[in-house]
Every structure is written in structure tokens, then in C-alpha cells.
Amino acid sequence: MGAGKRGVLTAAVTVVCAVTVLAVPGTAFAAPTPPPGPGPGAQASVTVVTSDEELEAVRKKLDALYRAAAKATDAYNAAEEKARQQTAQVVRLAKKIVEGREKLADLKTRAGAAAAAQYRGGGLPPEAHLVLSDDPQEFLDGAGRARQGQHAAKGLIGEMTRTQADLEEYAEDAREQMRKLEAGRKAKAAAQKRIEKQIKAAEKLEADLEQEEKERLARLERQAAARAQATWLSSGVLDELTSKATARGRKAVAYATAQIGKPYQWGAEGPNTFDCSGLTSQAWLAAGKTIPRTSQMQWQQLKRVDVKDMRPGDLVIYWADASHVGMYVGDGTIVHAPRPGRTVTLAGAGSMPILGVVRPDPGTE
């Protein structure tokens, strides 16, 4: 890499540092310090090689950026899922409002018919009917029917009042759901901007590298993952892993591994592209089990199990903010959709910091 190229890379790393600090509270990395420049009399054409230490700093920046993008993707997916639920609720409320209006119209018709009948009867009090009637029994029968009519009229009025109150409640609920939909739309748009910002910064940082540097960077990524996996395995975590997959677990694993090689795309649920939780949620849906859409909701809502008890099909949640998820397939391996620019692949289950393990199908063997 020439001196001019080095200046571009160093500047890009510095800019990315600032973006990363803004995107991930409490996380910061120092920009790599370039080695001393050529001494007096050195020729300008001398190529300065970027050290592995500098590339390691770049790798950490990229990790931080893509993790920030993953966290924003979870926020986007959560907003999308809430929007679906709220839309369905608005539809249900609209149906109730239509049904309520039809019921109220029917009640008004019945009330009008009762009032008309009373009008045709002259609206005379019972005492007047007694005076005008030659038959006391006829009066008593009429008085009974009058009391029944009064009760019926009161019942109609009460039902009309309750129906009107229900309609007002449905309408207010619908308005509230629409307000939530609008707030969710804004949250989703903000998350989308954060995702695009992080990914663009990461892509720019990678684009400023020479091809040879990109290859060394990829090697450093593999080495870092291998070291983490080796550390995880050396803890003896696999010694007690004897649990076997359930029938549904096998179906979920089969679906997830069949997607190997397909590109990562944030917010995607297949069939051609996936993000991390899109892959796991669709795999379990294919197995006949609906689970939450995002890695954070999967961590919050699914049953947690000890790592030593995990079995194929269980989901391994990563990082303290639960911003990544993979599916355990056995032998210390997961299948996952890593990040933008990568494809669905197999990786060591311990190649990233594990937050915990959750089970979509507890209680089944």
C-alpha cells in the first residue's frame, strides 16, 4: 500500500471510529497508528506494507460496525413485526365496528317498531283501559302484555346503550392502533437509516483495502473465529452434549442447512436471502413451529437451556445485546447468516461470545 493509500485507509479508520462510537454506546477502538514514514532521502515510490496489527484494528472496526448494523436490524424487524400485529388488530376492530353498526341499526328499527305499536295503542295508562274495558280479564291480560312491552323496551334501550358504548371503545382502540402504527413506521425508518449508515461505513473501509490486504483480513477473521472456538471447546463444553434432536428439530436443521450459500440481507426471511433471525425463524416455521422473528425476542420469549444440555435445533444467542443468533446443528457447530457481504454458512458455536441457548420445542423428545 503506497503512502497516499495509507493516508486514505488511516482517515477511513478514523472516520469509522467516530461512527462506531456513536452507534455502539460504550464501545470505542483506537485508530491504528501507522509506522514511521520514510526517512530523509528515501524514495517516494517505496511501498509501505500494512501490518497485521493494523489490519487487526480494521477487523475490529468492521466487527463493531456490523454488530451495530445487526442491532439496528433487530430493531427494524421488531418494528416490522409489531406493524403486522397492529394492522391485523385494526382489521379486527374495523370488522367489530361494522358489526356493531349493523346491530345498532337493527336495535333502532326494533325500538321504532315498539314505539309505533305503543302509539297505535293510544298510549293510555292502564287505569284508563280498566275504565273503558267491559271485561276485567281482558284488562288484566292487557296489563300483563303492557308490562312485558315495557320490559322489552327497557331491554332494547339498554342493549342500544351498550352497543353504542362498544362502538366508541372499538373506534378509540382503532385510533390507538393507528397511532402505534405511525410510531412504528418512524422507528422502522430510523432503524433502516442506522443500518444503511453502518453498512456503508463498513463497505467503504473494506473498499479502501488492496486485494492482498482483503485476503489477509479474511484470514485474520478466520483465525479470530478459530481461536474463540478453540477456547470454547477447551472448556469441555461438548463433553456432556448427548442430547439428540427432536423430529421438529431435525426438520429445522435440514431447512437451515439447505440455505447454505445464500446471501445475507438485513430484514430478509427468504427464500433467496436471509438475515440471522430470518433464517432461524423460517427454519422453525418449516418444522411446524412459529417462533419470534428477532434474535432479541427469541432470547426473551423462548425457553432457556444450559449450553451443556443443548441439542440440534436449539438456537444459540450471541453478544450481550442478543443481536445475533445461529442454530446448533451438532458437533460444536452452528449454521447462521453472518453479516452483509457473507452467505449462510457453518461456523463454530463458540466462535462468538455466547449469551445463552434457547429451545423452540421444549418438552418434546
**Tens-place pLDDT, residues 323-345:** 999 999 998 999 999 988 889 99
CB burial class (10 A; 0-12, 13-18, 19+) of residue 146?
A: middle
Residues near 311 by Cβ (< 8 Å), separated by ≥ 6?
241, 243, 244, 245, 246, 249, 328, 359
pLDDT band at 187 (very low <50, low <70, confident <90, very high): confident
> Three-state SS for 67?
helix
Q: Confidence band (pLDDT; 50, 70, 90) for 152? A: low
Q: Which of 35-38's residues contact partners 24+ apart within 8 Å by CB, and which partners?
A: 37/3, 38/3
**CA-to-CA distance for 230 and 239, rounded, in angstroms?**
14
Q: Give the pTM.
A: 0.55
If pLDDT is split at 50, 70 and 90, which confidence band does 189 have?
Answer: confident
Q: For residues 95-121, give the mean pLDDT.
A: 70
Give whichever of 54-58, 194-198, 235-239, 321-325 has the largest mean pLDDT. Answer: 321-325
For range 14-30, the mean pLDDT: 37
Portions of the chain given CATH number 3.90.1720.10: 237-359
**Cell digits for 248?**
421438529
Length of the chain: 365
Q: Identify the pLDDT of residue 14.
A: 44
Looking at residue 240, what is its pLDDT?
66
Catalytic residue numbers read 276, 324, 336
Q: Which residue has the higher pLDDT, 283 or 38?
A: 283
What is the C-alpha end-to-end distance of the chain, expressed in Å? 57
How many angstroms separate the Cα of 212 from the Cα of each of 79, 218, 228, 340? 40, 10, 25, 21
- Check whether 214 has a pLDDT greater than 70: yes
Instruction: Give the pLDDT score at 83.
Output: 78
Query: Looking at per-residue confidence, does 279 or 34 come out higher?
Result: 279
Sorted by sequence, the CB contacts under 8 Å of residue 92 that are 6+ apart come out as none
Mean pLDDT within 22-27:
36
279, 336 Cβ separation under 8 angstroms: yes
pLDDT at 135: 58
Q: Tens of pLDDT along 157-181?
A: 777 777 777 777 777 777 787 787 7
| DSSP 8-state secondary structure symbol assigned to residue 37 | P
275 or 189: which leads in pLDDT:
275
Q: What is d(CA 127, CA 38) in angstroms, rounded to the nearest whole number? A: 120
Higher model confidence: residue 97 or residue 308? 308
Domain 237-359, CATH number (from 3.40.50.11540, 2.30.30.60, 3.90.1720.10, 1.10.3720.10) = 3.90.1720.10
Alpha carbons 99 and 92: distance in angstroms, whole number: 11
Q: Give the architecture (CATH level 2) of 1-36+48-234.
A: Orthogonal Bundle (1.10)
Mean pLDDT, residues 203-224 taken together: 80
Structure confidence at residue 92 (pLDDT): 78
Confidence tier at 8 by pLDDT (50, 70, 90): very low
* Amino acid 329: pLDDT: 93
By CB atoms closer than 10 A (0-12, 13-18, 19+), residue 10 is middle
Q: Under a CB-based contact definition with an 8 Å cutoff, are residues 337 and 296 in contact?
A: no
Q: Residue 6's pLDDT band (boundaries 50, 70, 90)?
A: very low
